[in-house]
Amino acid sequence: MATDNNKPKRRSQAWFGDEGKSGFIYRSWIKNQGYPHDEFDGRPVIGICNTWSELTPCNGHFRELAEFVKRGVYEAGGFPLEFPVMSLGETQIRPTAMLFRNLASMDVEESIRGNPIDGVVLLMGCDKTTPSLVMGAASVGLPTIGLSGGPMLNGKWRGQDIGSGTGVWKMSEMVRAGEMTQQEFVEAESCMHRSKGNCMTMGTASTMACMVEALGLSLPENAAIPAADTRRNRLAQMTGRRIVEMVKQDLTIDKILTRQAFENAIRTNAAIGGSTNAVIHLLAIAGRIGVDLKLEDWDRLGSEMPCLLDLQPSGKYLMEDFYYAGGLPAVMREVLQYLHRDALTVNGKSIGENIESAPCWNREVIHAVSDPFKTEAGIAVLKGNLAPDGAVIKPSAASPHLLQHRGRAVVFENIEDFHARIDLDELDVDENCVLVLKNCGPKGYPGMAEVGNMPLPTKVLKKGITDMVRVSDARMSGTAYGTVVLHASPEAAAGGTLALVRDGDMIELDVSRRRLHLEVSEQELARRRAEWKPAPKPKRGWYKLYVEHVQQAHLGADLDFLVGSSGSAVPRDSH
């Protein structure tokens, strides 16, 4: 294979450029798929990292989407090679997709580093596929671009729009309260999800798609184009073209994921009323890329930002409406004064250049910054003896009258205890109590499941009450709502104060003072701590590795040995 000294030495040429036995092996076996010899002549090899799976419904259209990416790669003179990685569907996998986010990130990282890849396109959709792919790619450091699968079309049921997740939580409570029949509930199943794509509310999937765009890691408009809209395929093709140019320009992911980019994302998350899950995911991504991001940054940078987007679960509209109204560029343009406008993005332009002329077509969906949908609607970080390392709450999804509250604790030791007792008539609870759920954090579930938005007791629902203060070390779905305190750190399973709460203890929540306090003396807490015994640890496999190495929520719940990166050095030859 003749060598052209004028061509740049690509990483993939360590595999395909050798003229001896090794090059023969690498090229010959791939040629069994019908590729001609000139595909290996030094053109950029683009890995298409695909999370397609029939067990991940939100990503079920990714085979088609990948073909459009390939089309763009070929048009730009690249050589696309698609590869699968672990796919995490929040709606199907047990005990929770979050348990496997870090495992999937390892799959992504090693698949990229171990193969002849010069640049990578990340195909991501359902909740944990986005952070896991970005985390893995960040630990390698090649030119990288994200492409989300897009949200579903609006759910339609009996003349009204219903949103993924948000409608489920609302209607299931209506069934429990006797306000909706089981037959109506089942009928709504087929009406809520009527097209390909991920949740069309501002759940974690759509939130993380917005975060990818706000970070500058995707082309503009990536976040909101519906999956069923042909403009999603067009964006995929343009993404394929762009990654080839990024390789030629050596525009690596570390040049995009800067401190300024993360600050832009935090402020954008507030402006869209984004999911609390973004906190944990961005902390983990920052840890991989080497950006010093703290939990407190979420409060300092975003808590006083206005929410401009009237979208479920904080509002009434859905992602399809968001796209037609102008999408994320329109929101970011409104808050441009709060952003680092010079932050670089994957298209080679700054974020300011990308959004400076973005139009808004519907002020009912995207409000002006001078007339926000909600004021001071970012994520608030709470501290106190109940969560010394922090907990979070999303005020825009909470009931204003509960943001300052003092109530008696009703304690559930784990999720099984909760399900066994929450509907009992004899449960000693009223609307003024504080529901406390333990052992649902990173180590405790394990995996930190989305069970923090606990359904209210039936006896309370029947009184017409729709919200109570709830406190846990769990997460909640981005589609959920309510006065829910989450991510209490340290978690109960790690011996945090949450493990020591007992029925009848008084808990004070004061969001304005960022305070979460258990009214129990230090002496009594010390006595309880001496009596506390940790649960048995898993004995084998991924569960064991995870529980032994997972960090707490305020650090992003990554594994301690995965923080940082190993770079993109070519591994030693396999022959």
| Count of positions (residues) in the chain | 575
Name which of 166, 234, 231 is nearest 200 in CA terms. Answer: 166
159 pLDDT band, cuts 50/70/90, is confident
For the ranges 35-44, 172-181, 233-242, 315-324, the lowest mean pLDDT is seen at 172-181
How much is the pTM? 0.95
pLDDT for the residue 161: 85
DSSP tag of 155: E
Specify whether domain 44-153+195-292+302-355 bears CATH 3.40.50.2300.
Answer: yes
Domain ranges of the chain: 44-153+195-292+302-355, 155-192, 380-538
Whether 341 shows a pLDDT value over 60: the answer reads yes
Which tokens sit at 57? 């419904």
Residues 434, 471: Cα–Cα separation, whole Å: 7
Which tokens sit at 533? 């015994």
Residues 328, 570: Cα–Cα separation, whole Å: 37
Give the mean model confidence (pLDDT) for residues 403-426.
97
Give the pairing of strands 387-393 and 380-384.
antiparallel
Give the mean model confidence (pLDDT) for residues 21-32.
95
pLDDT for the residue 286: 98
Q: Could you tell me which CATH class the domain 380-538 is placed in?
A: alpha beta
For residue 363, what are the contacts with CB-CB under 8 A and spacing of at least 6? none
Tens of pLDDT, residues 430-448: 999 999 999 999 999 999 9
Whether 517 shows a pLDDT value over 90: the answer reads yes
User: Sign of dihedral through CA atoms 419, 425, 431, 435?
Assistant: negative
For the ranges 144-153, 181-190, 235-244, 502-511, the lowest mean pLDDT is seen at 181-190
Give the mean model confidence (pLDDT) for residues 498-516.
98
pLDDT for the residue 1: 43
Residues 96, 99: Cα–Cα separation, whole Å: 6
5 pLDDT band, cuts 50/70/90, is low
Give the mean model confidence (pLDDT) for residues 344-352.
98
Which tokens sit at 324? 């037609």
CB burial string 163-194: b at 16+ within 10 A, e below:
bbbbbbbbbebeebbeebeeeeeeebeeebbe
Mean pLDDT of the chain: 94
The CA distances from residue 438 to 473, 491, 492, in Å, are 6, 8, 6
CB 115 within 8 A of CB 280: no
Residue 315, classified by CB atoms within 10 Å of its CB into exposed (0-12), middle (13-18) or buried (19+), is buried
What is the residue type of 114? G
Beta-carbon neighbour count of residue 58 at 10 Å?
32
Tens of pLDDT, residues 266-313: 999 999 999 999 999 999 999 999 999 999 999 999 988 999 999 988
Beta bridge partners of 489: 390
DSSP annotation string for 497-528 = GGGG--TT-EEEEEGGGTEEEE---HHHHHHH
For the ranges 150-159, 382-391, 401-410, the lowest mean pLDDT is seen at 150-159
